């Protein structure tokens, strides 16, 4: 599939590429002298063949210079869920069409969108190529910076900025996320059967049985507009126009409305589950990121109860990772998934299983923390 896509992209109409590069260079006189296209990444889970980098040389008002832009290709789904379901394939296209990407409020930025169009097979989105100041594994300071920026952004919606109301924004991510889970069947996966202690299985089953309580808590907490997939692979730090660092979020397919604090589930929990941080040291990341996120909220003038923020975070994490853990391992660590797992994680099967196993106890401990906070605030 990727090879076929590459050949077709090499034969793209030059006028389309020219128009996009004009916007990228802010120069309608820019002339492309040479160009090539290659796959940008194969690390994506939902859309591994969808990102392509076009780059080359050209001549414009500033003389001879290099250029690069990104094309994201979205595949149409045959069976479409409701538009506000976080699995809906079309959300990022609608996000691009809306203009929000180029007019994002707050310190978190998105790649500039140059052109987007729906096709018979899905949609094409032409966008800015963002280069990361820190392309390798992030340090704790990088995570602290990202969490602080997210806190400032989310805090704006708690201190006066109106939430967007578009019908395509994802809502109740927690409900649609678990729609693919077959809980009892997933526990029958051989590695789950062999290595997960009975106590952890019982705790996980208890959480699954109580998931509706966790859902209702998330639905009652103060709401923010956010990205809701801010794990490390979707985040970059770059130098802004004023030479200060700024956070850029890629892949807006899950953006929408959700509970305060819950974005940390992706920055800390899902990022660690994807092995962007050592699962055995997730507590350190948790403390640093949470503290920085709260400081960001407070920098907007928000003066609410910090425990409410914590409740949003740990409740979402318990749902997204604790409830889904047996399904994640069954999907990622099977023999059939070996090739895909090696691309995404650099590990597969039993080796991958042992890498992610520590996240189970962490997520179940966060479920216990959520229950304690629920009692404190009268939810149970």
Q: Residues 354, 231: one domain?
A: yes
The confidence score (pLDDT) of residue 46 equals 62
Q: Residues 260, 112: one domain?
A: no
Helical segments of the chain, H only? 2-10, 14-25, 91-98, 140-156, 173-177, 183-186, 190-195, 198-209, 211-220, 264, 271-273, 282-299, 306-317, 325-332, 338-345, 349-356, 358-376
Q: Residues 83, 180: one domain?
A: no
The confidence score (pLDDT) of residue 44 equals 58
For residue 326, give the nearest of 221, 169, 207, 161 by alpha carbon: 207
The CATH code of the domain that includes 270 is 3.90.1200
Instruction: Identify whether 305 is part of a domain.
Output: yes
Q: Residues 113, 163: one domain?
A: no
The confidence score (pLDDT) of residue 41 equals 75
Q: Residues 188, 209: one domain?
A: yes
Q: Residues 260, 178: one domain?
A: yes
The CATH code of the domain that includes 66 is 3.30.200
47 is in which domain, residue-wise? 2-128
Q: Residues 228, 320: one domain?
A: yes
Q: Could you tell me the pTM of the whole model?
A: 0.95
Residue pLDDT, tens place only, 132-175: 999 999 999 999 999 999 999 999 999 999 999 999 999 999 99
The confidence score (pLDDT) of residue 253 equals 96
Instruction: Identify whether 370 is part of a domain.
Output: yes
Q: Can you list the residues of the chain whose pLDDT is less than 50? A: 1
Task: State both tokens at 50.
Answer: 């969808």
**Domain total in the chain:** 2
Q: Residues 164, 303: one domain?
A: yes
Q: Residues 86, 212: one domain?
A: no
- Assess contact for 55 and 36: CB atoms under 8 A: yes
The confidence score (pLDDT) of residue 1 equals 46
- Out of 128, 153, 173, a domain closes at 128
Q: Residues 119, 41: one domain?
A: yes
Q: Residues 110, 157: one domain?
A: no
Q: Residues 48, 153: one domain?
A: no
């Amino acid at each position: 599939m990727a090879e076929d896509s590459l050949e077709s992209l090499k034969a793209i109409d030059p006028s389309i590429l020219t128009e996009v590069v004009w916007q990228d260079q802010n120069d309608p006189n820019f002339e492309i002298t040479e160009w090539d296209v290659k796959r940008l990444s194969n690390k994506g889970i939902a859309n591994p063949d969808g990102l392509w980098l076009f780059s080359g040389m050209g001549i414009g008002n500033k003389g001879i210079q290099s250029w690069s832009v990104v094309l994201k290709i979205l595949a149409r789904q045959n069976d479409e869920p409701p538009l506000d379901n976080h699995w809906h394939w079309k959300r990022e296209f609608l996000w691009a069409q809306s203009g929000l990407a180029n007019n994002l409020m707050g310190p978190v930025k998105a790649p500039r969108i140059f052109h987007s169009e729906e096709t018979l097979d899905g949609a094409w989105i032409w966008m800015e190529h963002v280069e990361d100041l820190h392309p390798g594994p992030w340090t704790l300071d990088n995570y602290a910076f990202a969490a602080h920026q997210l806190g400032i952004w989310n805090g704006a919606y708690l201190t006066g900025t109106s939430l967007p109301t578009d019908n395509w924004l994802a809502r109740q991510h927690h409900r649609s996320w678990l729609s693919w889970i077959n809980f009892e069947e997933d526990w029958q996966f051989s590695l789950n059967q062999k290595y997960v202690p009975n106590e952890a299985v019982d705790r996980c089953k208890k959480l699954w049985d109580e998931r509706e309580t966790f859902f209702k808590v998330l639905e009652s907490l103060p709401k923010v507009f956010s990205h809701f997939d801010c794990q490390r692979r979707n985040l970059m730090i770059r130098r802004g126009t004023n030479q200060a660092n700024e956070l850029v979020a890629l892949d807006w397919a899950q953006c929408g409305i959700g509970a305060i604090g819950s974005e940390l589930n992706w920055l800390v929990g899902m990022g660690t589950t994807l092995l962007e941080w050592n699962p055995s040291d997730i507590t350190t990341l948790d403390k640093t990121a949470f503290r920085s996120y709260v400081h960001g909220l407070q920098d907007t003038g928000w003066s609410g109860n910090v425990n409410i923020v914590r409740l949003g975070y740990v409740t979402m994490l318990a749902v997204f990772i604790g409830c889904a853990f047996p399904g994640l391992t069954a999907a990622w660590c099977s023999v059939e998934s070996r090739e895909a797992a090696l691309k995404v994680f650099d590990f597969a099967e039993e080796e991958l299983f042992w890498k992610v196993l520590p996240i189970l106890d962490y997520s179940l401990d966060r479920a216990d923390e959520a229950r304690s906070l629920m009692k404190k605030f009268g939810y149970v």
